[in-house]
Structure 1
Amino acid sequence: MRVPGTSPAEPAVSRGYAWLVFALSFGLLLSDYMSRQVLNAVFPLLRAEWLLSDAQLGSLSGIVALMVGVLTFPLSLLADRWGRVKSLVAAATVWSLATLGCAVSASYGQMFLGRFMVGVGEAAYGSVGIAVVLSIFPVTLRATLSGAFIGGGAFGSVLGVSIGGVVAQHLGWRWAFGVMGLFGLVLATLYALVVREKRLSPSTGRRRGAPGERAPVRALLPRLFSSVSVICAYVGSGLQMFITMALLAWMPSFLNRYYAMPPAKAGLVAGGFALITGIGMVGGGIVADRLSRTVGARKWTVAISCSLGTLALLTVGFQLPAGPLQLVLIGAGTLLSNSTAGPAAAMVANLTPAAIAATAMATLTLANSLLGLAPGPAVTGMLADHMGLLSALQVVPLVAAVAGAAFVIGKRYYEKDLCRIGLLPDVALGTPEPQP
């Protein structure tokens, strides 16, 4: 017997259509992060042309994450009611047009406004997109799919930083923004033509005319914060994201300043580090699903291990002198820095109702944004202004210690919370088994 508000073990759509929706949703996620991270590739060019400080550069990156954090919850709740497909198409259109606006900016103020609107467009995409993906696949793949989908952000960052750096080097930074904006508009049009709300599982679409539709949603909202373990998943994920975003934002500048790389080469190399982050996200989800086949709480163990590994590797790496060994250790720490994404998202999905899946993922995105995405680049930039970029990056890994502590607490309460909300903790494939 299935507990009300949870997902069925098998989705109602065909496997082929499910993978088609995943591919298109993943493509839009790439566009999302390409539009977001292309800015980092042109930091040196903007700094030279407009005489910007590191704090100003960091604010151009951080404002996007801040708007994601502020708006993701209300826009995701709206998507749960209005329709997730329509919401995804509208979001992609807004961020693509805003990125084109950045291409014609004539000052820091205009660029800031453009980036503000990029954040508005991107606010709900991650949460709504992953809710659609999780709802059309078996629950036994939650950590793997969550890691893969969230990892698309890293892959998009690779493309945004790498392609943006090359385009900016040859055609100027304005063309870098222009290419990203046009790519997003094409994908948004394709998504609107191919993906239809009525073909998705009923749990992902808006069920018009269902009696009492609004009351259950309001009743389920408290479940977003009803357990210690789900709150710990939010906090741990957000703090790990702080480290990841600080590295993604400042790696091109780090390589430019301390390894004397020109912007194009620094962008390509930094893109490699972003790719490593994405590989870590996918790998973390796969490992978590495999290890938790008989004991679901092992997902927490994976997250704890990744946090401690991040702390050790990055702390040592940034203390070493510039050279191959330093880059290897930083790369290893980068691999683990956001490998917690898949396990954390799976835990949130397990502990919250499917009827508000997008809103639950929005809450996770809110935590990621307010604790990680927004402050990561900005705080690092402010520290760099006072103590130098290298010293700032030496401080950043300490955040992983707090993230690891949150995951430890979450693991301690996980089984108790599952029992309290009516789910058994002893589960096959690491997913909660509904209580009869």
Structure 2
Amino acid sequence: MHIPRADALAKHDRAMRTTPHPYTWVVLVLTIGLMLSDYMSRQVLNAVFPALKAVWHLSDAQLGSFNSVVALMVGVLTLPLSILADRWGRVRSIVLMAALWSLATLGCALSTSYGNMLLARALVGLGEASYGAVGPALIMGIFPAHLRSSLTASFMAGAALGSVIGMALGGVIMAHLGWRWAFGTMAGFGIVLVVLYRAVVTEARLAPHRIETACRAAPGRMRLAQSARIVFEGLFASVSARFAYLGSGLQVFVGGALYAWLPSYLNRYYGMPPARAGVMAAGFVLINGLGMVLCGMLVDRASKGDPTRKWGIALAYCAMSALLLAVAFRVPDGTLQLVLIAAAMFVVSGTNGPSGAMVANVTPAAIHGSVFATLTLANSLLGMAPGPFVTGFVADRIGLHGALQVLPCVGLVSMLAFALGKRYYAGDLERARRAHA
């Protein structure tokens, strides 16, 4: 493996201590804005579930498949497309991806059958496929390493906020203008953001602010990023990273199922009209996004002296969310249940920030695009893809309430994965440091 020159590493270390330039904050806001658009386009569907179920006479499994096909496309394509994005240029790739998912969302608005909608949703997934990896990689490249948990959590919080807007605004628009306009509005917002991003963010403007510039400039490191064999070795050589991928994906299963089905749960069991159910579910997702950021900040603060604390805190988030959900779906419908669901939503995605930091800390900076692609793949194939569909499949047999009672079991398995990963993290971290020495 190539060892960077001492002067290159010295420059790199000095860059890591610099204060971020104001332009980098603008890039961060716009990149999170596109994540917002991404999840507005993805989650508006949940608010219109009741309308689609009535119009096309769909089962819960079919409704869940609209969410799952997006996550499936993301999971299958995120790694190869992210590797291509590293070569082709992250900014150009981001613009192309955002344009595609926005146009595909417009296609959802024009769908006339289950098959049309499924195809349009698959194209949404194609557009979103590597954004969850390329976006964080771009951000990590222009901010200091000690902010990684906070930055990852903030980026993922854009997903939560986008889900809030998609659900709440989608439900309101559907109530007044119909479900097609709900999709159309999200598509229009995305197109506007694409134009703005293209005008403001360019590779040339980013170049002076790249923290990893010195290391990336070395020819050997460029070969590393472009060698599939070495990339895959870097991705999976760390045992703790493998468990982080697994634990993160399983915990996303729980959050993804809640995102998809809370509007329908409120509609069916509380008798709320779809618009109100969408707004209330959006409130839960807003709590989730707030928790994601605050939990990520807590991890950064608590793990300054001991990086292994990230794992212990992730374990705590899994345990707390599993316990709260187990109790919530076993108490009668009412205020107490809603409070417990809100508390669970606050911590259920708390593992997102530390998971990103865990895998970034034990892998080479040159392959962080691929690292986050792999994390996105795990979150998609283990979490977002099966979560809504499996929950809908079970709901068709034992009811939605019964299906949601099973979710805490998945959270316990996620906790086990983080517990196993913690055992190897200190050694993997030391090996990563020696490799860059």
- TM-score, normalised relative to structure 1: 0.93
CA-CA distance at 1:213 after TM superposition:
6.4
Which residue, out of 381, 388, 396, partners 2:399?
Answer: 388
Question: Which of 118, 122, 137 does residue 116 from structure 1 map onto?
Answer: 122
Aligned counterpart in structure 2 of residue 216 of structure 1, from 210, 224, 231: 224
Structure with greater helix percent: 2
Distance across 1 between alignment mates of 2:217 and 2:314:
42
Aligned with 1:326 (options 314, 324, 337): 337
Which residue does 1:105 correspond to in 2? 111
Q: Deviations over 1:276-330 (max 9, x none)?
A: 1111110111000000111011111110000000111000100111000011111
From 39, 63, 67, the equivalent of 1:57 is: 63
Give, in angstroms, the shift of residue 397 of structure 1: 1.3
Aligned counterpart, 2:86: 80
Match of 1:307, SS state, is helix
Cα 1:173–1:123 change in 2 (3 A) is: same
- Report the CA distance between 1:223 and its aligned residue: 1.1
TM-aligned CA distance change 1:107 to 1:354, over 3 Å: same
Counterpart for residue 160 of structure 2:
154
Q: Quick one: structure 1 residues 46 and 337, their matched pair in 2 at CA, closer, same or farther if it must change by over 3 Å?
A: same
In 2: Cα distance, 1:234 partner to 1:290 partner: 23
Deviation string, structure 1 residues 377-425 (Cα, Å, up to 9, x no partner): 00000000011000000001111111111111111111111223335xx
Q: Deviations for 1:195-237, whole angstroms, at most 9, x for unmatched residues? A: 01122245789x9997556532223431100111101110111
Render the CA deviation track for 1:128-167: whole Å, top value 9, x for unaligned.
0011111111111110111111111011000000000000
Structure 1 pair 63/9, CA: closer, same or farther in 2 (3 Å)?
farther
Deviation of 1:250 after TM superposition, in Å, equals 0.1
The reply on whether 1:90 has 2:102 as its aligned counterpart is no
2:179 to 173, 189, 203: 173
**SS of alignment partner, residue 352 of structure 1:** coil
Aligned pair 1:143/2:149, yes or no? Answer: yes
In 2, are the aligned partners of 1:13 and 1:199 still within 8 Å (CA)?
no
Query: Equivalent residues in 2 for 1:259-270 (5 A)?
Result: 259-270=270-281
RMSD: 2.1
Instruction: Encode CA deviations 1:345-402: one digit per residue, 9 max, x unaligned.
Output: 0011111111111111000000000100000000000000011000000001111111
Verify the 8 A CA contact 1:131 1:204 in the aligned structure 2: no
**1:16 lines up with 2:27 in the alignment:** no
Q: Is 1:421–2:428 an aligned residue pair?
A: no
Q: Hey, what's the Cα distance between the residues in 2 that align with 1:133 and 1:2?
A: 24
- Structure 1 contact 54–384 (Cα < 8 Å) conserved: yes
Q: Extract unaligned runs of 5+ from structure 2.
A: 1-5
Asked whether the equivalents of residues 3 and 435 of structure 1 are also in contact (C-alpha less than 8 Å), the reply is no
Distance 2:40 2:212 in 1: 26
Is 2:358 aligned against 1:347?
A: yes
Q: Partners of 1:148 and 1:3 in 2: how far apart?
A: 30
Alignment-mate amino acid for residue 376 of structure 1: G
1:25 matched to which residue of 2?
31
Query: Residue 10 of structure 1: SS of its match in structure 2?
Result: helix
In the alignment, the residues of structure 2 paired with residue 9 and residue 226 of structure 1 have an alpha-carbon distance, to the nearest angstrom, of: 28
Q: Does 1:365 align with 2:376?
A: yes
Task: Report the alpha carbon displacement of residue 81 of structure 1 after superposing the two structures with TM.
Answer: 1.0
Q: What is the letter of the counterpart of residue 297 of structure 1? A: T
Counterpart residue number, 2:3: none
Whether the 8 Å CA contact 2:101–2:126 is kept in 1: the answer is yes
Q: 2:307 aligns with which of 276, 290, 296?
A: 296
- Measured after TM superposition, the shift of residue 13 of structure 1 is 9.0
Q: 1:311 to 1:2 in 2, by over 3 A?
A: farther
Change (3 A) 1:9 1:63: farther
CA contact (8 A) 1:144 1:289 kept: yes
Q: Is the 8 A contact 1:2 1:435 kept in 2?
A: no
State the secondary structure of the residue aligned to 1:421.
helix
Q: Partner of 1:305 in structure 2?
A: 316
Query: Partner amino acid for 1:182?
Result: G
Distance 1:144 1:90, change over 3 A: same
Note if contact 1:84-1:204 (Cα within 8 Å) is conserved in structure 2: no
Whether 1:225 and 2:247 are equivalent positions in the alignment is no
Please tell me whether the aligned partners of residues 144 and 211 of structure 2 are also in contact (alpha carbons under 8 angstroms). no
Counterpart AA for 2:186: M
- Report SS of the residue matched to 1:215: helix
Gaps of 5+ in 1: 424-433
Residue 196 of structure 2: aligned partner: 190
Note if contact 2:94-2:134 (Cα within 8 Å) is conserved in structure 1: yes
Tell whether the 8 Å contact from 1:10 to 1:139 is kept in structure 2 after alignment: no
Q: Is the 8 A contact 2:238 2:428 kept in 1?
A: yes
CA shift in 2, pair 1:314/1:9, >3 Å: farther
CA contact (8 A) 1:224 1:352 kept: yes
Amino acid at match of 1:119: G
Distance 1:208 1:299 in 2: 28
> CA–CA distance in 1 between the matches of 2:280 and 2:12?
41
